[in-house]
Amino acid sequence: MRSFMERLLFPKFVYADPYQTLFPGTINTGVIYTMNLSEEGMKAMGFESHLGLNETMLQMVFGRSESLFCHDTCQFKDYSTVVQSRFDPEKKARRREEVFPKDCEKAFDMGRRFAMK
C-alpha cells in the first residue's frame, strides 16, 4: 500500500511551503479498508492514525478524500481448516451476515457521493 501511495502521489506533489500539487483540479478519492481487527484493536495498535495519513496525503494532492474501515471481517471461509485460536468463527459469521452488508452499503454510498460531485 505504501509503495502504491508513493507512486500515485509523489509525481504530483510539490515540495514548497506550503505544500502544493501539480494535479490540475480536484477529484474525490476514497480508501476502503477491510481488516480482521476490531475497531478497538485498530485504535489500540495505532492503525487509525497511521492509516489516516493516507487520507491526508490524498487530500493534499487531489483535494478530497475519505476512508471507510470495515472491522472484524472474515479471513477464511472455513475457520476449521486453519490453525487459529484467536477468533470465534461463529461471531465472525454473524458479523459477516449482520454488519458486512451495511459496510458494503456505506462503500456504495461513498461511490455514489463521489459520482455526484
Residue 7 banded pLDDT, cuts 50, 70, 90: very high
23 in Cβ contact with 11 (< 8 Å): no
**Using one digit for the tens of pLDDT, what is the confidence trace for 8-49?**
998 998 888 888 899 999 999 999 999 988 999 999 999 988
Provide the pLDDT for residue 108. Answer: 97
Provide the pLDDT for residue 15. Answer: 83
**Using one digit for the tens of pLDDT, what is the confidence trace for 53-98?**
999 999 999 998 999 999 999 888 888 899 988 889 899 999 999 9
Q: Which grid coordinates belong to 111?
A: 461511490
The span from the first CA to the last CA of the chain, in angstroms, equals 26
71 in Cβ contact with 35 (< 8 Å): yes
